[in-house]
Structure 1
Amino acid sequence: MAAKKQDDGNTKKRKRLDTKTRESPSNSKTSNLTASKKHKPHSLAKDTKQQKPILTGRERRLQAKELADARKKKRKRHYTLEQELARLWEKMRRHEIAKEDRAKLVTEAVQKMKGKIPEIAGSHISSRVLQTCVKHCSQSERDAVFEELSPHFLNLAYNAYAVHLVKKMLDNASKKQLAGFISTLHGHVAPLLRHMVGSVVVEHAYELANAAQKQELLLELYSTELQLFKDLVSLKESRLLDVMSKLKLQKGSVLRHMTSVIQPILEKGIVDHSILHRVLLEYFSIADKSSVTDIIQQLSSPLIVRMIGTRDGAKIGTLCVKYGNAKERKKIIKGLKGHVDKTAYHQYGCMVLVCILSVVDDTKLITKVIIRELQSVLKELVLDKNGRRPLLQLLHPNSSRYFSPDDLATLSLSIPSLSLKDQSEAGSLTETTKVSLGENESEEDMAVDEVNKDKISVDDSDLAESGKKDPLVRRQELLIKSGLADSLLDVCIESVGELLRSNFGKEILYEVATGGSDGIMRPTLDDKINSLHNAVASLAAMPKPADSQEEHVLENFHSSRTIRKLILDCPNFASTLWEKAFKGKSELWAHGHSCKIVSAFLESPDTKVQKLVGKELQPLIDRGILKNLKLKEQANQ
């Protein structure tokens, strides 16, 4: 059986082989034909390759460039013109070029662009050429470019490249041209402010505008009626409340319009512009509690850092700090992290730091974020006009000696709907507004006022405009426990001569030497304060220089006045200074600027100081070298 199976298997194998053999001739023919067909195109391709010239790398690049230029010519209408302008621009923008040669190149470029300026102004190349031409061309050429562009300014304001050209045109525009441009913005201010590029144009126009033109731009954002009829208000009514009372505008409609303008801008994060800051301040003056709280919540983030660079922006920042809750204040402080030194040096931003140090109760967070950054640049801050203000606020809060009336007004700003002081005034204002509006007020506005009235009557114990912590305790934690006072004393001792002669540093040194207001530094840092007194006295005890260009500390304009003030206000310092620098030498310093210092010993309110110096200074008074101003004032009275 096994043999039979083996035979059957061999038979099947033979049959398969025979079948393959029979089919093989036809297969071989087919394969030959296919091979011949394949071989023929291959040979043709080889011949074609041999016919093409071999190009070098440079030739291939030139060929590719020509193809790209051909495509760009089809796609861009003014491609050739742009290339010509770019070549001219490379010559005219050089610093070493003569004015006459540049003027010729500019004139040539303007002639080439004439009639096509609006079409090419949006190109990243042509817009730069136009900016250079506008900067260096003659006034007649500039006027011609302005006239050609004026119908297209709105469209160009939305273009990322043309916006720089529009700004350059406004910088070089005449008063009449600027007024014409601002009039073209009428009806388009709000849409432009919602656009990242367009908002830059509105802000630039707002900065260049006069008071009447600024008001024209602002009124459009207040109400639909004012957007349609811009000549209803005169320049006298600059505040929104005055405009509303004069025109008897409905409060509800004004609030709705302003909310529809402000909210999209804030959602997009376009908060850098001073025109928006002004609008927000006016909005705060009329908005109800919930609306203001929503805005403060939106702004209490790193966004606030971008706002405090303007006068009104700093006011918004202080209001957010004063009326924000603990969570929102924490966000504001954390948002300042890494920007504290720059903010401290800024003219307006420093007032936000002053407000934080005066209001926020979380002293640990302030120490960690703000005080630590201030300590790293302490000497620079002490000598800076703006940088010293946060330090002076801790040493002597709200002093009119160091803060201008505008600064103090910024710190005392309030929001009527949130202020505890203005709650009753807001209620009476609502009643007055109703009486003034009379029959013209709609039922809807009356409903809004009723809601606001209810909100005013709600318990506002959570509002802490100046913090819930005792101000003296807060100052001690920020100044003493944080180590800031210790660092300040080190800086004052190390740089005593420089600070005394500095217009701004002398004030920090004076406050530190007296121990701050209320003697806040006295109990814990007496030893270091005495060391500072000795440092000043040692400097004053140095002999008068003969030929040195640097004035002696007792004769310098700033230092002599600071030392005089310290003698009058700090008896300990006066005694130290007399013993080290003036005892036995008073007649030497009784002339020039230093004579005021010698006289200050006689005018000191401390009797111990008067007794200490009386014997030596009385002969100088008798001889007429010194004048006791205190006795003279008493005699006049």
Structure 2
Amino acid sequence: MSSKGLKPTKRKGNETSENFDAKKSKKPKLVSSNSDKKHQEQPKFGKPKSFGDNNNNTGSLSSKERRIQAKELSEARKKRRKPHYTLEQELGTLWEKMRRRNIGKEERSKLLSEALQKMKGKIPEIAGSKVSSRVLQTCVKYGSKAEKEAVFKELQPHFLTLAENAYAVHLLTKMMDASKEELSACISSLRGKVASLLRQMVGSVVVEHAYHIGTAAQKQELLGELYSKELQLFKGLASTTEKSVVDIIKKLGLQKDAVVRRMTSIVQPILEKGIVDHTIIHKLLIEYLTIADKTSAEFVIQQLAGPLLNRIIHTRDGARVAILCIKHGSAKDRKKIIKAMKGHVGKWAFDQFGSMVLACIFSIVDDTKLVTKFIVRELEATLKDLVMEKCLQNGRKPLLQLLHPQCKRYFSPDDLASLDLSIPSLKELSETSSQTKDSDSKVSGEEAKDEPEEIDLEENAAVAGGKKDPLLRRQELLVNSGLAERLIDVCAENAEEFLKSNFGKDLMYEVAVGGSDGILCPSLSEKLSELYEAITSVAAELKPEETEKNSEHVLEYVHLCRTIRRLVLECPAFASTLFKNALSGKCRSWARGLCAKILSAFLETKDLQVREMAKKELQVLVNEGALKILGTEKPE
């Protein structure tokens, strides 16, 4: 056989003999021995080498000497990195002396002058430093008018740059507080940059401070930039006396769509970044919701539903925004809002505006189990403090809203206006949905079966408020939750304290009469009887002698006399208990002074049994002229 006809033999792995021989002929790699590895230099990581002629000397230094050497190295680096480092060190030393409270005015004035002399011409460069900013704040606070003006003159061209610095912000706010002229100049420097600064965590602080201490015209000027570019460019337009954005659009003839787009471009990034703590932003939001379309309004509600809402409730406009979110939000949005209030309910109950947000929740949210779990339970723990809160009497508002909703006696016109607010675009949608629902109810069963339409109505039902009957909602929140029973117990336990207080009388009255529509009477009549016994036991105490000083019977308190009279006229069960336990056989001694009005109420009441019960004893006093009944004819 010839060699040409032979085929190369196959090896393992489908390798030919030629490939195998080629592999075999490769030289092995040289591997260093273990002894060679030991002599190779290994990279050394750890402490940096110290600078000096001999690096080996650091090992012989003590720990104290090493710390000193490290400090010197750190100082050298800072001097290279900060051009004014030495100056800042000197200013820091002066500041520690001038900021003391026990220092004299003359000595502080000398230190201020020395510090300003060192900083002269360099103030804009060092104002953003932590130390220098504090020194300048002290100079602005305690310096003379000329010294303040000198600092302001150097900083004014760099105002916008400093407004974005975390340390210089505090200096700028101090300068705005210094004088009205400097405040006006600062606001002028902000022209055209208000919207961009509000989108920043630091810059928004400067705008907020200017808005907070500014005049009405200055506030309107700052807000005008957020409404339209025309108001941003032309100062005369921004100084309009019109307050709401709707009035400004009508007066200046602005295009509503352009204003909405402008405000949307500002509001959206602010909400996404969570910069919602400032009052100017709360005002911007409430104005935006008055002109926003359905999609934009829903975006605002969805962004605020949750923890963000807790950060805006403390202001008037912020609370109104929260009420609108609760009123027009979906069931999912309301659930987020209520859950986010966990742990904050007590705080908001005592707040002037937060209390109205809680009242709104009690009036609108249909998920009473959720409200009971997260809000009612927290209120129960502080019922006495809520009733006796003496500052602005805010704590009682949520409770009074449940007992007597939107009563003009307990809620101011501004409070009632807040509860009646609505978003126009979503209100129109809710009205359309309700009309569709009413028309569908008239159609036969087969024509009314349209599942997608029913789902939309349920989703939009939140727009118009709650779907549940208000009386049923109050029943579940007050009676079924146990809040009313606990409230009656607190009133009975502290009857004397509440009666003598000008702050607890209104709540005591509403609980005693059983609330509006008698919501407490059917199921808690026994508990109410115990409350009547507690009140009458206080009233049955002996009347103090005229010789006793600083002694006044509970029925002789002016505010309480009126409350007891109202109870006698409106609550026959209480009137009967009071007459039997406290007044029967003692009417002659009480027929003078303020208490005479209480006695006359027994003859003026519409309840025949109460009138007949008291008539026998009181008629004698009326005939003798000892008791007068005002505004009514003498009973026969």
Quick check: TM above 0.5? Answer: yes
Q: CA deviation at 1:170?
A: 1.7
Q: CA deviation at 1:64?
A: 2.9
Shift of the 74–396 alpha-carbon distance from structure 1 to 2, 3 Å rule, reads: same
Match of 1:18 in 2: none
Deviation larger for 324-333 or 50-59: 50-59
Root-mean-square deviation (CA, aligned residues, Å) is: 2.6
Equivalents in 2 of 1:50, 1:371: separation in Å? 73
Match of 1:210 in 2: 215
Equivalents in 1 of 2:404, 2:56: separation in Å? 93
The 8 Å contact of residues 225 and 238 in structure 2, kept in 1 or not, is answered as no
The 8 Å contact of residues 491 and 531 in structure 2, kept in 1 or not, is answered as yes
Q: CA deviation at 1:423?
A: 6.0
Match of 1:405 in 2: 413
Match of 1:559 in 2: 560
- In the alignment, structure 2 segments of 5+ residues that lack a partner are 1-53, 433-455
Equivalents in 2 of 1:77, 1:597: separation in Å? 83
Q: CA deviation at 1:401?
A: 0.8
Secondary structure at the aligned position of 2:484 is classed as helix
Match of 2:628 in 1: 627
Equivalents in 1 of 2:280, 2:61: separation in Å? 61
Deviation larger for 342-351 or 54-63: 54-63
Please state if 1:90 is matched with 2:91. no
Equivalents in 2 of 1:401, 1:214: separation in Å? 34
Shift of the 520–108 alpha-carbon distance from structure 1 to 2, 3 Å rule, reads: same
Match of 2:158 in 1: 152
Match of 1:110 in 2: 116
Please state if 1:523 is matched with 2:522. yes
Match of 2:468 in 1: 469
Secondary structure at the aligned position of 2:83 is classed as coil
Deviation larger for 598-607 or 470-479: 598-607
Shift of the 58–518 alpha-carbon distance from structure 1 to 2, 3 Å rule, reads: same
Equivalents in 2 of 1:533, 1:458: separation in Å? 47
Q: CA deviation at 1:500?
A: 1.6
Q: CA deviation at 1:553?
A: 1.3
Match of 2:171 in 1: 165
Q: CA deviation at 1:460?
A: 8.6
Please state if 1:568 is matched with 2:569. yes
Shift of the 626–290 alpha-carbon distance from structure 1 to 2, 3 Å rule, reads: same
The 8 Å contact of residues 118 and 148 in structure 1, kept in 2 or not, is answered as yes
Match of 1:259 in 2: 264
Match of 1:482 in 2: 481
Match of 2:194 in 1: 189
The 8 Å contact of residues 416 and 422 in structure 1, kept in 2 or not, is answered as no
Q: CA deviation at 1:109?
A: 2.8
Match of 2:312 in 1: 307
Equivalents in 1 of 2:55, 2:242: separation in Å? 85
Secondary structure at the aligned position of 1:192 is classed as helix
Match of 2:400 in 1: 392
The 8 Å contact of residues 602 and 611 in structure 2, kept in 1 or not, is answered as yes
Q: CA deviation at 1:622?
A: 4.2
Equivalents in 1 of 2:239, 2:82: separation in Å? 49
Equivalents in 2 of 1:421, 1:625: separation in Å? 65
Equivalents in 2 of 1:370, 1:575: separation in Å? 37
Secondary structure at the aligned position of 2:425 is classed as coil
Q: CA deviation at 1:308?
A: 1.2
The 8 Å contact of residues 330 and 459 in structure 2, kept in 1 or not, is answered as no
Please state if 1:67 is matched with 2:73. yes
Secondary structure at the aligned position of 2:237 is classed as coil
Please state if 1:124 is matched with 2:130. yes
The 8 Å contact of residues 361 and 467 in structure 1, kept in 2 or not, is answered as yes
Deviation larger for 549-558 or 52-61: 52-61
Q: CA deviation at 1:338?
A: 1.3
The TM-score normalised by the length of structure 2 is 0.82
The 8 Å contact of residues 305 and 335 in structure 1, kept in 2 or not, is answered as yes
Match of 1:435 in 2: none
Equivalents in 2 of 1:345, 1:92: separation in Å? 40
Equivalents in 1 of 2:239, 2:282: separation in Å? 22
Shift of the 611–225 alpha-carbon distance from structure 1 to 2, 3 Å rule, reads: same
Secondary structure at the aligned position of 2:227 is classed as coil
Counting matched residue pairs gives 554
Deviation larger for 212-221 or 597-606: 597-606
CA-to-partner distance for each residue in 1:194-248, whole Å, 9 max, x for gaps?
A: 0011111111111111111111111111112222223125533222122222222
Q: CA deviation at 1:57?
A: 4.2
Equivalents in 2 of 1:471, 1:492: separation in Å? 25
Please state if 1:363 is matched with 2:364. no
CA-to-partner distance for each residue in 1:495-554, whole Å, 9 max, x for gaps?
A: 111212222221111110110000000001001111111111000111234547464211
Match of 1:32 in 2: none
Q: CA deviation at 1:328?
A: 0.9
Match of 1:452 in 2: none
Q: In structure 2, what residue type is equivalent to 1:79?
A: Y
Match of 1:500 in 2: 499
The 8 Å contact of residues 58 and 66 in structure 2, kept in 1 or not, is answered as no
Equivalents in 2 of 1:54, 1:633: separation in Å? 113
The 8 Å contact of residues 365 and 465 in structure 2, kept in 1 or not, is answered as yes
Equivalents in 1 of 2:58, 2:266: separation in Å? 67
The 8 Å contact of residues 500 and 559 in structure 1, kept in 2 or not, is answered as yes
Correspondence list, 1:433-448, <5 A: none
Q: In structure 2, what residue type is equivalent to 1:134?
A: V
CA-to-partner distance for each residue in 1:362-416, whole Å, 9 max, x for gaps?
A: 1111111111111111111122211111111100001111111111111111111
Equivalents in 2 of 1:107, 1:492: separation in Å? 64
Q: CA deviation at 1:157?
A: 1.2
Q: In structure 1, what residue type is equivalent to 2:108?
A: R
Match of 1:415 in 2: 423
The 8 Å contact of residues 418 and 463 in structure 1, kept in 2 or not, is answered as no
Q: CA deviation at 1:94?
A: 2.7
Shift of the 599–128 alpha-carbon distance from structure 1 to 2, 3 Å rule, reads: farther
Correspondence list, 1:132-151, <5 A: 132-151=138-157
Percent of aligned pairs with the same amino acid: 60
The 8 Å contact of residues 417 and 423 in structure 1, kept in 2 or not, is answered as no
Shift of the 155–625 alpha-carbon distance from structure 1 to 2, 3 Å rule, reads: farther
Q: In structure 1, what residue type is equivalent to 2:278?
A: H
Match of 1:375 in 2: 380
The 8 Å contact of residues 232 and 238 in structure 2, kept in 1 or not, is answered as no
The 8 Å contact of residues 220 and 238 in structure 2, kept in 1 or not, is answered as no
Please state if 1:236 is matched with 2:241. yes
Q: CA deviation at 1:98?
A: 3.8
Match of 1:587 in 2: 588
Equivalents in 1 of 2:342, 2:175: separation in Å? 38
Equivalents in 1 of 2:60, 2:309: separation in Å? 64
Shift of the 58–588 alpha-carbon distance from structure 1 to 2, 3 Å rule, reads: farther
Q: In structure 2, what residue type is equivalent to 1:559?
A: L
Equivalents in 2 of 1:372, 1:207: separation in Å? 36
Please state if 1:601 is matched with 2:602. yes
Equivalents in 2 of 1:166, 1:633: separation in Å? 74
Q: CA deviation at 1:146?
A: 2.4
Q: In structure 1, what residue type is equivalent to 2:115?
A: A
CA-to-partner distance for each residue in 1:540-590, whole Å, 9 max, x for gaps?
A: 111234547464211223322222221222121112111111222223233
Correspondence list, 1:39-54, <5 A: none
Q: In structure 1, what residue type is equivalent to 2:500?
A: R
Deviation larger for 541-550 or 160-169: 541-550
CA-to-partner distance for each residue in 1:101-122, whole Å, 9 max, x for gaps?
A: 4344334333333332222221
Q: In structure 2, what residue type is equivalent to 1:527?
A: E
Equivalents in 1 of 2:516, 2:320: separation in Å? 26
Q: CA deviation at 1:488?
A: 0.4
The 8 Å contact of residues 300 and 329 in structure 1, kept in 2 or not, is answered as yes
Match of 1:77 in 2: 83
Q: In structure 2, what residue type is equivalent to 1:630?
A: G
Equivalents in 1 of 2:128, 2:460: separation in Å? 56
Match of 2:24 in 1: none
The 8 Å contact of residues 346 and 387 in structure 1, kept in 2 or not, is answered as yes
Q: In structure 2, what residue type is equivalent to 1:187?
A: G
Equivalents in 1 of 2:527, 2:462: separation in Å? 40
